[in-house]
Amino acid sequence: MKKEKLIEWVKPYNNDDSHPYYRPFVVQSKDEKYDIFLAGINPATPIYRKDIDLNLYIDLLTDYAEFYKMYNKVREGNSKPKMSRTRLGITSFVNEIQNRTNEKVLETNVVPYPTKNKKILKQTDSGVIAHALSLFHAVLLDHSPGTVIIYSKGSLEYFVKVLYENKLIDAKPSTKLKMSDLENSSGPFLEFTYPTGKQCSVFVCRHFMYYGKEGKTYSVFRDKVINHIKNNS
């Protein structure tokens, strides 16, 4: 992936430094294609140009281990614990998926615009959100993953909006069912086809703040996803 594209994807909205950097993903290598996406609603820790240089920020987004070293320092500087409950759950889940499938996971957010909490996200200007959703769509098409895992109701609603408005699906499926019911369904929540003709299966689960170290209550969902990946690799 060319650095020029990454600069366009991460620079602050309208290049205005009062906005944080967008965070379209965190990956282990910018030169790989990822066939598994894990997507939440939006990053919880805004990082600004005053915190870190744009070029260094881009380098860190493509170096997973180094990014989270920096991320932990930023959280400590904001008087937060190094690792949130959500980050603990994501890390545990991703490690198990990768260990059991030998496939790498791209971590992203459907709204890759960081805010401290959901209240601020809801108050954020619609233009900022629209740009964020367009970035997610661009990353989705760039990799065209065969498996997308969406966690939390808010993430799912935004994800369906992206698919529908970009004509990847013809109609919006209902998102009103309980997340636990969607999580424990026998198959994917939905399937869609990229413009290239490749198919994608979408799985949905509860927020990872409830996952913990072992994710015991997610075991049925986790096995379902892993079996799907293995059967389609």
Q: What is the dihedral of CA 191, 208, 221, 103, to 10 degrees?
A: 70
pLDDT tens for the chain, 233 residues long, are 678 889 999 999 999 999 999 999 998 877 789 999 999 999 988 999 998 999 999 999 999 889 888 888 888 877 777 778 899 999 999 999 999 999 999 999 999 999 998 899 999 999 999 999 999 999 999 999 999 999 999 999 999 999 999 999 999 999 888 999 999 998 999 999 999 999 999 999 999 999 999 999 999 999 999 999 999 87
| pTM listed for this prediction | 0.95
Residues in the chain: 233
CB 92 within 8 A of CB 98: no
Sign of CA dihedral 207, 108, 38, 122: positive
Order of strands, sheet of 147-151, starting from the edge strand that comes earlier in the sequence: 105-109, 36-40, 147-151, 199-205, 190-193
Tokens 């689960």 belong to residue: 205
User: Quick one: DSSP state of residue 206?
Assistant: -
What distance in Å separates the CA atoms of residue 15 and residue 168, rounded to the nearest whole number? 30
User: 106: closest CA among 38, 50, 58?
Assistant: 38
What distance in Å separates the CA atoms of residue 22 and residue 169, rounded to the nearest whole number? 26
pLDDT at residue 69, as a whole number: 86
What distance in Å separates the CA atoms of residue 14 and residue 93, rounded to the nearest whole number? 35
pLDDT at residue 119, as a whole number: 93
What distance in Å separates the CA atoms of residue 22 and residue 43, rounded to the nearest whole number? 9
pLDDT at residue 156, as a whole number: 97
147 strand-pairing partners: 36, 201
What distance in Å separates the CA atoms of residue 78 and residue 84, rounded to the nearest whole number? 13
Tokens 């496939």 belong to residue: 103
Exposure of 78 by Cβ count < 10 A (0-12 exposed, 13-18 middle, 19+ buried)?
exposed
Cα-trace Rg, the chain: 17
215: left (phi over 0), alpha (psi -120 to 50) or beta: left
What's the token pair of residue 29? Answer: 């290598």
